[in-house]
Amino acid sequence: MYQTITTTNEASILTITINRESKLNALNMETLREIKEAVIAANKDNTVSGIILTGAGAKAFAAGADISEFVNFNSKQANKMSADGHETMNTIERSGKPVIAAVNGFALGGGCELAMSCHLRVASENAKFGQPEVNLGVPPGYGGTQRLIQLIGKAKATELLLTADAIGANEAMEYGLVNDVVPAEDLLPRCAEILNKIAGKSPMAVAAVIRCINAHFAEGEDGFKTEIEEFGKAFETTDFKEGTDAFLNKRKANFAR
């Protein structure tokens, strides 16, 4: 079905793996399109409760965009490439099911942007993050100038974007770019552990929380208003009835998917 990624569904967790190890999982346009399609499909699949996004091999999550693909582009082609990349990142960010980036090695340029579009990020101890685009004579094109600021603040983000410096996993955690750092062999199990914990919560409420968080950063949206609306809508759901009944009767909630 896919040419540049693989997908596996195990115990309700869909793992999307960028399968271009010989290219350090560099992101070409086909890869971005297939990732977008896989995330959309996962959101329609009742057997999936959460998504892990990772790269094949131990060296790279995704070492950037595939430069050979766009080196001769004109501005019109470049604009479309950027817009298509943004569409993939936005699809991940707006996924109603949680997406965790399992960052195994290099997450540079487009790879860092891909990781930042996920709801959570867990890094192996050898992970490296950076936005080196200014070395190529361009700014980041897949949301890096916006999401890096959102995640770590303007001052440090500006420094990293302008110097093209890369940072290691522990430094990334210190700045708030990643949620956890683990040995490489524990990377996927740790991601699964987090998703399994979330899977025990109301899927409707989880999706609503994601929409509220995204509204905080969306231009023209009032995150507080979104929260009020989502809170009210929740009272009409079966999840609310199940969750409150379970609480009042001191039992574990059993949310349907």
The whole-angstrom separation of Cα 9 and Cα 3 is 18
The whole-angstrom separation of Cα 181 and Cα 126 is 9
The whole-angstrom separation of Cα 91 and Cα 85 is 10
113 is catalytic: yes
- State the catalytic residue, choosing from 21, 34, 37, 133: 133
What one-character DSSP code corresponds to residue 3?
A: S
- State the catalytic residue, choosing from 30, 37, 87, 113: 113
133 is catalytic: yes
Whether the CB-CB separation of 123 and 178 falls below 8 Å is answered with: yes
Q: Residue 72 to residues 25, 67, 76, 78, 142: CA-CA distances in angstroms?
A: 21, 9, 12, 10, 19
Active site residue ranges: 113, 133
